[in-house]
Amino acid sequence: MKRKSLFYVMMSLFTLLSLGLSACQTPAPTVAPPAAQPTATTPPKPAFEPMSISVPSCDYGGKIKEIAAVDELTVRFSLCKPDPAFMAKVAFIPFAIQPKEWIDKNGGAGELLSKPIGTGPYKLESWNRGDSIIFKRNEEYWGEKAKVETLVFRWATEGAARLLELQSGTVDYITNVSPDDYEKVESDDNLQLLYANIPNIFYVGMTNTFEPFNNVKVRQAIAMGLDRQRIVDNFYAEGSEVASHFTPCSIPNGCTGEPWYDFDAAKAKALLAEAGFPDGFKTKIYYRDVFRAYLPEPGLVAVEIQTQLKQNLGIEAEVVVMESGEFSDEASSGRLDGLYLFGWGADYPHITNFLDFHFSKENPQFGTPHPEIYEALEKGAQIADPAKAADIYTQANNAIRELVPMVPISHGASANAALKTLKNAHVPPFRAPDFSVMDNGKDTIVFMQNAEPISLYCADESDGESLSACEQVLEPLFNYKIDSGEIVPALATSCEPNADLTEWVCKLREGVKFHDGSALDANDVIASWSAGINAADPNHKGNTGAWEYYSYLWDGLMNAEE
């Protein structure tokens, strides 16, 4: 079970070198009654009148200045500052496109949350809450049609339960095999173990607006007082490693700067006493009971951290398990008074995906953001050459180490599993599995993941279960190749940048139809992006209303009230 670190480095470097270039065109259970599709009720598109959204000036601090429809099949993105990761970002599923009419009809919420209308190889048939999601092949797909007619998503929180379903043949593919079960899968002639090469991070978060986590010495003491190697040795699969930095070293500039604190219980205890807590204090440890590649045994790890805090620092922590959606919302919003177990899997191959999302000035997750961190990140995000940006990311990584907004624990190795009869089964590095290319020789593929999606309006979601379901139905302008993470055309055939990477002109693919039968045009792109990034848009509602990816990856929402 070897980590393919060289693969990571080569893949990431290749992708980064291509970011500033325009993309080349490429050929590119019991089922409940079908949910009504809006084909008959969706009005025909009116005569095309180009839309645009913009800000009065770039003083608001964000990256997007204007998004404009030049003509029916051309969209221009004008930026306030260069963004060499632009192509990698727009290929991410939260920036997928839905019909303008469907967004308007639902006012940016409503049925958008449960009935996405996309252009992908599968279309939604029904979401049977608490049980399954049924997808049907899109017979009008612009690219290669799905090999199997019906795709079923199911879920189970326990790794053992998912494996039992796979062994019994009731499902074809499962996520996140428990580390203790790797050998069992590999020795079963009917199964295949699929190693996941996905850069990730598991961390213990704190919010500095709550006492005593507003004291940097308390945060530093916790950083030194956790034996991270013991956690990895006891609960992670072979190939996992203790995190030296927040970002995995496979991402360029991820590991510049000083490595994280070594475990030193005596020094940690002394530092906590300096902070005014010689006998420790009482707090809570929050987590969600959902298996993740970065956290395979959340309940056990929570108890381990509880034990270490008591033994090493005298901190008494109550373990609190939360429902997945509530936990994600509360933790991401900085509303958890205590420690919490969270993590991240790479969405695209650039350091901005790890650092800018978590430590930007827009993100309240760790409390009041630190300018020592986010000011450096804003500079680094404008530099295309990783070598030229190295000094800036050294500064940012050192500031994260000094200020300790969280404690990075591990980069986890993981694996999925499938029946051997499922051809083309895979685990992509930067997207969900693409079930349209898989074939089990039957009319239905059944997939079992860790949890039920929170919603299917993924412009305003960030959990992996929601995103993986959305990726079967929706498409962004570009996509990531399933075997490498290379950026390839999807709804756009190209995006041409200007010399300083502040303008990108994207040409849309001709003849693409949404699942409701309407034709893709530039206004659909504007409407989809505006609902997410334009705070003044009446459709800017969503599910949580956080719009995390739009806000954090583009340095803020357009036209937000002060």
The CATH code of the domain that includes 509 is 3.90.76
Residues 377 and 249 in one domain: yes
The answer on pLDDT for 49 being more than 90 is yes
Q: Is residue 124 part of a domain?
A: no
Note the pLDDT tens digit of each residue in 534-544. Answer: 999 999 999 98
The answer on pLDDT for 547 being more than 80 is yes
pLDDT top residue among 100 and 292? 100
The answer on pLDDT for 32 being more than 90 is no
Name, of 29-33, 282-286, 431-435, 547-551, the range with top average pLDDT. 282-286
The Cα–Cα gap between 434 and 451 comes to: 18
pLDDT top residue among 146 and 18? 146
Residues 278 and 385 in one domain: yes
Q: Write down the pLDDT at residue 162.
A: 96
Whether the ω angle into residue 212 lies within 30 degrees of 0, i.e. cis, is: yes
Q: Could you write out the DSSP letters of every residue in 204-241?
A: EE--TTSTTTTSHHHHHHHHHH--HHHHHHHHS-TT-E
The Cα–Cα gap between 201 and 324 comes to: 18
Total Cβ atoms within 10 A of residue 20: 16
Element containing residue 184 per DSSP (H, E): helix 182-186
Note the pLDDT tens digit of each residue in 249-258. Answer: 999 999 999 9
Q: Write down the pLDDT at residue 436.
A: 98
Residues 212 and 68 in one domain: no
- The residue among 393, 411, 429 that closes a domain is 411
Q: What is the mean pLDDT of the chain?
A: 91
- Phi and psi dihedrals of 284, rounded to 5? -130, 155
Distances (CA, A) of 544 to 325, 330, 454, 535, 548: 10, 11, 10, 14, 9
Residues 406 and 503 in one domain: no
Note the pLDDT tens digit of each residue in 431-440. Answer: 899 999 999 9
The answer on pLDDT for 171 being more than 80 is yes
Q: Could you write out the DSSP letters of every residue in 318-375?
A: EEEEE-HHHHHHHHHTT--SSEEEEEEE-SSSSHHHHHHHHHSTT--TTSSPPHHHHH
- The residue among 348, 377, 411 that closes a domain is 411
Note the pLDDT tens digit of each residue in 178-235. Answer: 888 999 999 999 999 999 888 999 999 999 999 999 999 999 999 999 999 999 999 9
How many residues are recorded in the chain?
A: 562
Total Cβ atoms within 10 A of residue 33: 8
Give the angle subtended at the CA of 490 by the CAs of 488 and 494, to the nearest 5°.
Answer: 70
Residues 253 and 383 in one domain: yes
Q: Is residue 424 part of a domain?
A: no
Q: Is residue 305 part of a domain?
A: yes
Q: Is residue 60 part of a domain?
A: yes
Residues 323 and 376 in one domain: yes
Note the pLDDT tens digit of each residue in 99-148. Answer: 999 999 999 999 999 999 999 999 999 999 999 999 999 999 999 999 99
**Angle, in degrees to the nearest 10, between helices 386-403 and 216-225:** 100
Residues 388 and 490 in one domain: no
The answer on pLDDT for 43 being more than 90 is no
- The residue among 411, 446, 474 that closes a domain is 411
Q: Which of 122, 75, 43, 151 is nearest to 474 (CA)?
A: 122
Q: Are strands 406-411 and 316-322 parallel, antiparallel or unpaired?
A: unpaired
The Cα–Cα gap between 209 and 215 comes to: 10
Note the pLDDT tens digit of each residue in 71-110. Answer: 999 999 999 999 999 999 999 999 999 999 999 999 999 9
Q: Is residue 188 part of a domain?
A: no
Residues 86 and 205 in one domain: no
The answer to whether 274 and 204 are in contact (CB under 8 A) is: no
Residues 393 and 472 in one domain: no
Reported for 123-127, long-range contacts at CB under 8 A and 24+ positions apart, including other chains, are 123/37, 123/473, 123/515, 124/35, 124/456, 124/473, 124/515, 125/31, 125/34, 125/35, 126/31, 126/32, 126/33, 126/34, 126/35, 127/35, 127/456
- Total number of domains constituting the chain: 2
Strand partners, 513: 519
CATH code, domain with 384: 3.10.105.10
Confidence band, pLDDT 50/70/90 cuts, at residue 41: low
Lowest mean pLDDT among 20-29, 75-84, 406-415: 20-29
pTM equals 0.78
The answer on pLDDT for 20 being more than 90 is no
Range of the domain at 542: 5-115+456-553
Q: Is residue 148 part of a domain?
A: no
Residues 225 and 313 in one domain: yes
The Cα–Cα gap between 62 and 81 comes to: 9
> Order of strands across the sheet with 150-155?
122-128, 132-137, 150-155, 444-449, 173-174, 414-419, 191-196
Residues 42 and 106 in one domain: yes
The residue ranges of DSSP E strands in 481-533, in sequence order, are 487-489, 492-497, 503-508
Confidence band, pLDDT 50/70/90 cuts, at residue 44: low
Confidence band, pLDDT 50/70/90 cuts, at residue 485: confident
Q: Is residue 105 part of a domain?
A: yes
Q: Which two structure tokens, joined as six digits, stand for 74?
A: 């051309």
Q: Is residue 562 part of a domain?
A: no
- Phi and psi dihedrals of 184, rounded to 5? -65, -40
Segment 17-41 shows an average pLDDT of 40
The answer to whether 384 and 88 are in contact (CB under 8 A) is: no
- Phi and psi dihedrals of 398, rounded to 5? -65, -35
The answer on pLDDT for 16 being more than 70 is no
Confidence band, pLDDT 50/70/90 cuts, at residue 40: very low
Residues 360 and 243 in one domain: yes
The answer on pLDDT for 33 being more than 70 is no
